[in-house]
Structure 1
């Protein structure tokens, strides 16, 4: 596997780790439950470590845009499916604009070097 592909794999695992950590953040009930609180720390630490590995071959702007954008979408989906939260039209449009922004920045910008 080439280094760039490996970096995107690290980024994917960083995103998944961050989303799991955020899910446990909800379950921690403002850090009042020990096990979910510890899992928040474990998954966030793993996420940042994996993100740092991804940054060896992916520029910071590209990696962070993907990490943030995909993380927001996955976290919103988990909120709806797991926690039975609802998203109104404004939330859906806002999330859509974030996704569109990530796509535009990655496809059309020369500032973010790949």
Structure 2
């Protein structure tokens, strides 16, 4: 399987795990807590598989940058968190930084 597919699946799992953190209520709710554990476990496993082929700097930049941006979008859409111009500029800078790292 292509390393970028493993990386993409890893990002989706990381976003899921991060999104479940808010629902755990400080790890007092069992199902969201299991979601965090499974999400992060799968995310790190997928990332490790992608690192068999991809350089660590490139893979981690994509994983962390897109994971952060997508988690912020989940917060805005699902959890109704604030969205303003600073949030937009921050997301643009994250995506732009990941793009520049990949071009370089």
TM-score of the aligned structures, taking structure 1 as reference length = 0.86
5+ long unaligned stretches in structure 1:
110-114
Determine whether 1:11 maps to 2:7: yes
User: What corresponds to 1:43 in structure 2?
Assistant: 39
1:77-102 per-position Cα deviation (integer Å, ceiling 9, x unaligned): 11111111122211221221111111
5+ long unaligned stretches in structure 2:
none
Q: Structure 1 stretches (4+) deviating beyond 4 angstroms? A: none
User: What corresponds to 2:99 in structure 1?
Assistant: 103
Aligned-residue Cα RMSD (Å) equals 1.1
The count of aligned residue pairs is: 104
The SS at the match of 1:37 is: helix
User: What corresponds to 1:76 in structure 2?
Assistant: 72
The higher radius of gyration belongs to 1
TM-score of the aligned structures, taking structure 2 as reference length = 0.93
Q: Structure 2 CA distance, aligned partners of 1:68 and 1:15?
A: 8
